[in-house]
Structure 1
């Protein structure tokens, strides 16, 4: 999602998103008398924001009686910073980057949390027939380093280094990237995984009312705001001038993905989502979003639907998620 798009919607403070439905189709986003304001929705909560994983993370909680909200928020942000140190493909000191550097050199012991993340990602890749895949670092790098369209030979070489078959996992916590050129990239699911970790901690600490907004594209509504049945999220789309509607989250996650064919006049929106099955960038204007109990699932599946919108009926039927594709 482009930064300009997020900024255009933030003043509405219904916590912007790129678009999705909940159990029912989203209601049209039209101002109405009696609609709760952001101040109403967040009454009784403590809100804090930090820059992490390359974007802005906002967490609002209502602390249980006897617990300090600032301390709880500190725990939540510490979890996300810890996962960034574990999962980032851009930090040389991350466990994921260390595994990338060991590609083609046999199985290695990895931290248990990284192993769980890799297991979860592999299952999601299987559910989507590879439309979502974390073993696409070689393709992403090849497309990023080529100023024009990636040539057929270069794409063929990068594809040979990519795909979930390149990653082998074995208990208790061993991982092996089979080819020396294979690279992991957690970008399509890392925020969702972090949101789930935050929500799990807050739930364990007795927090019953919370809202997480990670980068304006991944959300979780814990419980409901005071005086409302759920947390409303304004839905946008590929055209930032026209909102799709509003989805209401109650103990659910929402994740959105957006693909644009080229940069807009503000310099945003260069194609960046790779279809690992073809090796091509997605150059068609699309947006997709998913509501699910898990932010990890929602994050991964919204990316998969950008790559292959035809997956939507199967994902809804088999995984019990609700989606919008446009």
Structure 2
């Protein structure tokens, strides 16, 4: 699979997701809503329609495609997971957490609006995600919709992304004596699997659910999702160390300054790079049962490792 083909696929998924998000964030109130405050909608749009790779929606759409699910049929679930991702970025950027002023090359939501509006915009995007998944547009079968809701909720909640963020803050020494904690490698991997890996793996899982994957196929895709999630975070840690703010569209070099627990800090740059390569190999191996049909997903694993932003 060549890079232009992969680029075309992820670009198509991004376009489809953007359109579905824009429709979900229209000004007209839905049934059961009284009105939609303009400032809140503007902040939600600022935080979710600002571009980005749309990797998580791509994983939903491409995985579902393995089972002949059309991209349009997967778009609502793809938009739902992107809502959760964008909410997490809005809240991560807040002064109480990372205190960032730049995201995707633009002012963060709290910088462009204000802190209270940013909190509410994140809250609203999170709840919108489950509104989308509860709709028959996500899938005609209510049992599949329930499974989608459960998968995304668990990946995003106390045992997933939010729990991982809490562990990350604790590792920085936010709640102890103010000094970063020395975590074992296994603890860092748990933290990263929750904070970053869980939502990426959920994208693959949601695609498998949309396609009603058989257990063996489901297990293979779960292994792929875990590998790509771990690879993404290591690549992100390397980019924070070696990347530029211009390419990243956000501040870099903050992990070391904050004493963050990362694989790079624990193993060193060379060993972390070797682990990253091994995770890409593991992701590709997990896709072997699908043969050439999974070539774009295999390319996605390589993209995650080699990305520059």
TM-score of the two chains, using structure 1 as the length reference: 0.29
Structure with the higher fraction of residues in strand conformation:
1
TM-score of the two chains, using structure 2 as the length reference: 0.30
